[in-house]
Amino acid sequence: MATPRTTPSRPDGLTLEVVELIGAVVARYHEEYEEAAAEHALTGAQAKLLSLLSLEPLPMRRLAQRLKCEPSNVTGIVDRLEARGLVERRPDPADRRVKLAAATDEGRRVARGLQESLRFARAPLAGLSDPERVALRDALRRMLEPESGR
């Protein structure tokens, strides 16, 4: 197993190349995510919110934190999804003062369709062996750990 390197004051060529490749992957992901959302007559923000709610009901404040936006923006997105029958508001059983946004059955169906229509990286990832995909997954997880790189 490789040992982690200390963060140099100036990035080396390999690090710069990896950063550029990560940027290209992120840009392609966002582009294809927007296309997949549009296929379901959703904006990217609506699709992200619906995907989150398909996993579990969440309070508006937590949705805003996850989407990194203002709670008032989340309210508008939930309003539009609710008008389409994809999301509903319900009281939080733990605190009746708090409203949860939750995906409806139709919302979960649309969220599944959205995930299935995302073509991003399917072919390239399928071309990697299982050990290569595991190594990639593990490296990405390490990069996202709170103490790495911060």
pLDDT tens readout for residues 65-86:
999 999 899 999 999 999 999 9
| Average pLDDT along the chain | 89
Contact present, 89 and 57 (Cβ < 8 Å): no
Give the residue among 136, 128, 103 at the shortest CA–CA distance from 21. 136
Q: Rounded to an integer, what distance in angstroms lies between the CA atom of residue 110 and that of residue 131? A: 32
Asked if the model's pLDDT at residue 6 lies above 60, the reply is: no
**56: DSSP letter:** -
Which range among 8-22, 52-66, 84-98 shows the weakest confidence by mean pLDDT?
8-22
